[in-house]
Amino acid sequence: MLYPLSYEGETSGNVSVGAAFDAIGQTCQYMSDPIAALIDLLQPVFDEIAGPDTVSESGHPDPTVRPSDHADAQINGALSLAKLLGDNPRALAQRVVDSGVLDNVASSHVAGPGFINVTFSPQFLAGELAAVASADGVGLVPSEQPLQVVVDYSAPNVAKEMHVGHLRSTAIGDSLVRMLEACGHSVKRENHIGDWGTPFGMLIEHLLDLGEADAAEALSLGDLNGFYKEARVKFDESDEFQERSRQRVVLLQGGDGETLRLWEILVGLSAAYFNTVYETLGVLLTDDDLVGESHYQPLMPGVVDRLATAGLLEESDGADVVFPPGFENREGDPLPLIIQKGAGGFNYATSDLACVIDRTERIGADLILYVVDAGQSQHFQMVFAVARMAGWLDDEIEAVHVPFGIVLGTDRKRLKTRSGEPVRLVALLNEAVSRADAAIADKNPDLDEDTRHDVARSIGIGAVKYADLSTDRVKDYVFDFDRMLAFEGNTGPYLQYAHARICSIFRREEVERAPMRTAPIELAEPQELALAQQILGFPSAVDAALESYSPHKLCTYVYDLATTFSAFYEHCRIKGSPEPTYSSRLALADLTARVLERALGLLGIDAPEQM
């Protein structure tokens, strides 16, 4: 586990092994997740069987506890430990069973070549559920060792339209931020917008040509691509405009007051537009998170100086560069990271190094995440390598590129409009919402119009985000309205419906949910036991998702929870059941709804109470 989570329960401790941090190895006595509880109980037994000499040589033997098809859980660690000790695996597994450490929580027996099958006792699970039900975090509580994390994501360009590529960075980054904060970490969001560079000479001159008022109107209408393209056309066709643009870049970089004022108009109008998109998407980003490329310009000379002082800077073809080992170009020669161009300007490698310095030295980051497309992989490897050579990153401060694949159309080619341009993000979102609206109108005609529009927005946006988040981010994924908006299968609408349906149970029964949180829980039916274990696995699911910065692992968990609840709901009737079964099942329903809502919340997805 990379992130030290603690769990609600009678006592709590941590299991923590971090890439950037030394293994702490402190195990907790009690966790809400029954699998984690097993590990705590088993570790001392495995240590004892291995003996102190083996532990000091090979480390603590891993009990290797996994969910099982043959029981609630299986312990596989006896096989590897037996191999290490040259012992008989079944006999060794039997020693674990005979130790009796699991007797209070589960029954266990040896199976096959040395697996131990474990079945949790209903009383144990009910007790764990009671602890979780009475707490606000439904199992999730803040870490005792919070980190300072910087998450760099979204990053649209000023005077350019946002497209599906920005959707991925924004949705994934937003979810990671929410999960990190839920685990108690201090998170600084940074929206590294493209607000600097040579295109701004051209854009400012175009602004002047249009007149500020007309330009402001054009940009505030959201026609950012049109503005940019007009400027580009003039730049390509007119030598005079091109020359003016070049001079304007010089003025901008020189800090000319009037030029900066015009530049700020462009940035301000774009930022306002971005905010409308973020609001539609329902993500956390605001103006406070804007840290554009311009922010790092004053820091650039310092980067060069410090690299030079460190003796890392070399001159190559007129440019100042650093050669990080292990990178080669097409000819097999060392590949440089260009710090200062031959003409004197800086480029984005320098800017990214300035970022690293700013984030580690000013913000005090322990961990920096870059949610940027997979095509930038080599670039980040080189930047991180140079930052380590310069000592700005080390074993205590980790920078991680969190890459993602591209968005494909149903033809499996990069999603584009018919004319070959990137699809505007707002157009996709609007269509998703209007399709959701039509679906709701069809399925639930009784809903009044205002409610329907609200619900349609939650469903449409949730569907798009869930489709983006629910597959392994590093792979390309197929954007398909029909699939993502379906109410069946692993989709946003299915999960939202699962939640809304539980809410409707309480409405129909005219029962308040809050009092159910202290109702005694009895677990008898297999579906009740399965649901209990699924609910208790929530913190572990969040932890697993964060460990690899993979929101899709949380998606898989939520989907499993929803289907497990469906089975429970099918087999375990609530309405008309005698007490205490009636209250117990309502308590399970309430808890399921709370975990669904919380988990969807961590994905940045609404959970409406009716739909």
Partner RNA sequence: GCCCUCGUAGCUCAGUUGGAUAGAGCACGUCACUUCUAAUGACACGGUCGCAGGUUCGAUUCCUGCCGAGGGCGCCA
**Stretch 197-226 residues interacting with RNA (CB under 7 A):** 197-198
Subset of 575-604 contacting RNA (CB under 7 A): 575
**Local structure of residue 376 (DSSP, 8 states):** G
Residue number with CB closer to RNA (248 or 552): 552
Note whether 246 binds RNA by CB under 7 A: no
In angstroms, give the least distance from the CB of 180 to RNA: 17
User: Per CB under 7 A, which region of 135-143, 165-173, 299-307, 502-510 contacts RNA?
Assistant: 502-510
Rounded distance between C-alpha atoms, residue 48 and residue 418, angstroms: 67
For RNA (CB under 7 A), the number of binding residues is 99
- Of 5, 71, 262, 600, which lies in the binding site for RNA, with binding defined by CB under 7 A? 71
Q: Does 229 bind RNA (CB under 7 A)?
A: no
Q: Which among 372, 473, 352, 368 has a CA at the least distance from the CA of 165?
A: 372
Q: Under rule CB under 7 A, which residues in 77-136 are in contact with RNA?
A: 79-80, 83, 111-113, 115, 117
Residue from 12, 54, 68, 94 in contact with RNA (CB under 7 A): 68
> Which residue lies nearer to RNA by CB, 73 or 126?
73
280: left (phi over 0), alpha (psi -120 to 50) or beta: alpha
CA distance 610 to 278: 24
Does 319 participate in binding RNA (rule CB under 7 A)? Answer: yes
| Side-chain-facing half-sphere of 425: CA atoms under 13 Å | 29
- The four Cα atoms 383, 408, 434, 450 give a dihedral, to 10 degrees, of -40
User: For RNA, which stretch binds (CB under 7 A), given 249-257, 270-278, 298-306, 493-501?
Assistant: 493-501
Buried-exposed string 456-482: b where 16+ CB fall within 10 A, e elsewhere: bbbbbbbbbbbbbbbbebeeebebebe
Amino acid identity for residue 247 in this structure: Q
Look at residues 491, 492, 483, 458 and name the one whose alpha carbon lies nearest to residue 408. 483
Single residue of 416, 483, 513, 517 touching RNA by CB under 7 A = 483
Rounded CA gap, 299 and 214, in Å?
A: 35
When asked if residue 34 is in the footprint of RNA (CB under 7 A), the reply is: no
How much of the chain is helix, strand and coil, in % rounded to 5?
55, 10, 35
Asked whether position 250 contacts RNA by CB under 7 A, the answer is no
**Per CB under 7 A, which of residues 162..201 are in contact with RNA?**
194, 196-198
Q: Which of 210/519 has CB closer to RNA? A: 519
Per-position DSSP letters for 482-532, written without gaps between them: HHHT-SSSSSHHHHHHHHHHHHHHHHHHT--SGGGGGS-----SHHHHHHH
Under 8 Å CB-to-CB from 588, ≥6 apart: which residues?
129, 521, 528, 531, 532, 535, 568
Give 241 or 565: the residue with its C-beta nearer to RNA.
565
Tell me the per-residue interface mask from 421 to 440 with RNA, x by CB under 7 A, - otherwise. ------------------xx
Q: Does 510 sit near RNA (CB under 7 A)?
A: no
Within positions 549 to 578, which residues make up the interface with RNA, using CB under 7 A?
550, 552-553, 556, 559, 563, 566-567, 569-570, 572-575
Question: Minimum distance between the CB of residue 212 and RNA, rounded to whole angstroms?
Answer: 25
Decide if residue 406 touches RNA (CB under 7 A): yes
Q: Which is nearer to RNA, 122 or 345 (CB)?
A: 345
Nearer CB in complex with RNA: 8/33: 33
Of the listed pieces 208-216, 237-245, 334-342, 383-391, which binds RNA according to CB under 7 A? Answer: 334-342
Nearer to RNA by Cβ, of 449 and 488: the residue is: 488
The 8 Å CB, 24+ separation contacts for 90-99 are 90/114, 92/49, 95/49, 96/42, 96/45, 96/46, 96/49, 99/45
Closest CA to 46 of 5, 79, 4: 79
Question: Measured from the CB of residue 326, what is the shortest distance to RNA in angstroms?
Answer: 9
Q: Nearer Cβ to RNA, position 81 or 150?
A: 81
**466 is an interface residue for RNA by CB under 7 A:** no
Is residue 138 within 8 A of residue 58, CB to CB? The reply is no
Task: Name residues contacting RNA, limited to 274-313 (CB under 7 A).
Answer: 293
Q: Which two tokens stand for residue 396?
A: 């205590």
Q: Does 46 bind RNA (CB under 7 A)?
A: no
Question: Which CB, 227 or 569, lies closer to RNA?
Answer: 569
Q: 593 Cβ partners below 8 Å, 6+ apart?
A: 499, 502, 503, 513
Closest to RNA by CB, 211 vs 489, is 489
Q: Give the nearer residue to RNA in terms of CB position, either 252 or 505.
A: 505
Q: 432 vs 544, which CB is nearer to RNA?
A: 544
Longest dimension (CA), the chain: 88
Question: Residue from 474, 511, 517, 601 that binds RNA (CB under 7 A)?
Answer: 474
Residues in the chain: 611
By CB under 7 A, residue 253 contacts RNA: no
Give the CA radius of gyration of the chain.
28
Q: How far is the CB of 379 from RNA (least distance, A)?
A: 6
Cβ nearer to RNA, comparing 30 with 380: 380
Q: How far is the CB of 499 from RNA (least distance, A)?
A: 9
Q: What is the pairing mode between strands 477-478 and 319-322?
A: unpaired
DSSP state string for 415-453: -B-TTSPBPBHHHHHHHHHHHHHHHHHHH-TTS-HHHHH
Among 30, 124, 380, 487, indicate the residue that binds RNA (CB under 7 A). Answer: 487
Q: Cβ closer to RNA: 68 or 225? A: 68
Q: Which of 500, 529, 554, 599 forms a contact with RNA (CB under 7 A)?
A: 500
Q: How far is the CB of 105 from RNA (least distance, A)?
A: 17
- The residue type found at 207 is L
3-state SS class at 314: strand
* Residue numbers 522-551 binding RNA by CB under 7 A: 544, 547-548, 550
Count Cβ atoms below 10 Å from residue 148 Cβ, excluding itself: 17
What is the phi-psi region of residue 218: left when phi exceeds 0, alpha when psi lies from -120 to 50, beta otherwise?
alpha
Whole-number minimum distance, CB 211 to RNA, in Å? 28
Site for RNA in 354-373 (CB under 7 A): none
d(CA 184, CA 454): 31
Q: Is 477 in the site for RNA (CB under 7 A)?
A: yes
Applying CB under 7 A, which of residues 44, 421, 443, 512 lies at the interface with RNA? 443
